[in-house]
Amino acid sequence: MDITQAREAGNLALVLDDSLATGRFVCSLLGKLRIPAQPFKNLIPFLAQVRSCDPDLLVLDVTLERFDAIDVIRQLEAFNFKGKVLLMSGCEDRVLQEVARIGKSHGLAMLPPLRKPFGVDELHAHLFAPPLSGPAHRGMRPCGEKSIRELTLSQALEHGWLEVWYQPKVNLQSLTVSGAEALIRARHPEHGLLTPARFLPPAGDPGYHALTKFVLECVVADWSGFARHHPRLKLALNVPASVLNAPGFVELVRKALPRNPKFPGLIMELTEDEIVRDVALASEVATQLALYRVALSIDDFGSGYASLSRLTDLPFAEIKLDGHFVSGCAVDPLKRSLCTTVVDLARRFGASACAEGVEAEVDLRCLATLGFDTAQGFLLGKPMPSADLAAFLMRPNRYCDLSEANVAPGVSRAGL
């Protein structure tokens, strides 16, 4: 597929770097991933191309000759750009992450930034990672993949294509699975398994009410199956603030909950930026839910801009630290300090601290030492269908390689 065809298909990447040789090299890497790309050295023709072809991906060098990535970010916000943005730079990680945060604050779908030099494997991992920003944005797809932009949440619900998968949550003291987060997937008859970014509407869409009801009923039914061997397994589901604060939500939950006296309750996760929009109402609903052993969790903590004074009015039971601050915490003093602060904050609020996005053993050791209660991430278990989670829970010594020496001093292996 040439550049013109790629532009017509809406599957083009543009690369901006003040070194044309570097830009061409990045384009060659993208080509290996079957993503046609066009390099640019100057800002004006680059922006003109963005406006004319509406690409799916922009790759930006952070420091350029007469301008920088923040200048570009402001222009992209003015264009209402809906594709993904990948930053690349040889500058220190802290600056790179801060520029990514600024891009997110301007409403852009910022991918995890990439340090130079990099190869095709690193590029692939960053391109297909979830964006740092919350709203649904257009995603990249390899050339030749059929468009499924016409798929909607209502269609997936109507045709029974939705599935609830689970990612394990591990207690860092016992190194046993203490819970799992419910995650939605769609199994399209033609396009196969789809992640939420491919079919979920923007935040606030009324379709989330039906979706939440579907997930809630699946979670309760699945717990009944898990409970035969793991009755204390506490499951969590994501609930948008628009659904939590809707009339009748508490009644919906009350009717769905099992009557089993061994039921340990549920956790409902709301993102930090959503949870503070109407703290008074959210607090009232959270208090009602607590009467039925349903606790509130602040998800992606650190990615939003919540005021601590507003959080004091909210009866939450858990803080989940965003994976951006977890990854590399063992070697980055600033991230480690932020992790310590979150643990201390959770303790002061009488809540538990959970670390998301754990992918490295060295980070897991650090998190356990710092006092996190639970952790979640690919190192401990990838999202899986309910049947696979049931088998996973039955597997003996599933964390035997995470020995006392490998995790942290004083961490027990009881229950392995």
Q: What is the pLDDT of residues 377-395, one digit of tens each?
A: 999 999 999 999 999 988 8
Q: Cα 60 to the chain's mean position, in Å?
A: 22
Q: What integer pLDDT is reported at residue 310 of this predicted model?
A: 65
Rounded CA separation 65/42 (Å): 9
The predicted structure's pLDDT at residue 142: 42
Q: What is the pLDDT of residues 45-77, one digit of tens each?
A: 999 999 888 899 999 998 776 778 888 999 898
For residues 319-331, b (16+ Cβ closer than 10 Å) or e, as one string? Answer: bbbbbbbbbbbbe
Q: Is the peptide bond before 117 cis (omega within 30 degrees of 0)?
A: yes
Q: Please tell me the predicted confidence (pLDDT) of residue 321.
A: 92
Q: Please, which pLDDT band fits residue 137 given cuts at 50, 70 and 90?
A: very low
Supply angle C-alpha 396, 402, 405, rounded to 5: 135
Do residues 267 and 298 touch, judged by C-beta distance below 8 A?
A: no
pLDDT of 195 strictly over 80: yes
Residue 152 has pLDDT above 60, yes or no: yes
| Domain layout of the chain by residue ranges | 3-127, 153-407
Q: What is the pLDDT of residue 9?
A: 41
pLDDT of 14 above 90: yes
pLDDT at residue 166, as a whole number? 96
Instruction: Place 141 in a pLDDT band, splitting at 50, 70 and 90.
Output: very low
Classify the C-alpha dihedral 212-214-216-219 as positive or negative: negative
Residue 311 vs residue 89, higher pLDDT: 89
pLDDT confidence of residue 414: 30
For the chain, the average pLDDT equals: 83
Please check whether the domain covering 153-407 is classified as CATH 3.20.20.450: yes
Query: How confident is the model over 365-379, as a mean pLDDT?
Result: 95
Q: Determine the pLDDT at residue 4.
A: 44
**pLDDT reported for residue 413:** 28
Mean pLDDT of 315-336: 91
CATH-assigned architecture of domain 3-127: 3-Layer(aba) Sandwich (3.40)
State pLDDT tens for residues 120-129: 888 988 887 7
On the question of pLDDT at 319 being above 90, the answer is: yes
Indicate the pLDDT class of residue 271, thresholds 50, 70 and 90. Answer: confident
- E strands, 133-212, are 162-171, 176-188, 192-194
Of 189-193, 243-247, 377-381, give the lowest mean pLDDT range: 189-193
pLDDT recorded at residue 18? 86
**Does residue 252 have a pLDDT over 80?**
yes
Q: Is 217's pLDDT higher than 70?
A: yes
Report the Cα 262 to chain-centroid distance in Å.
31
| Residues 284-296: tens digit of each pLDDT | 888 899 999 999 9
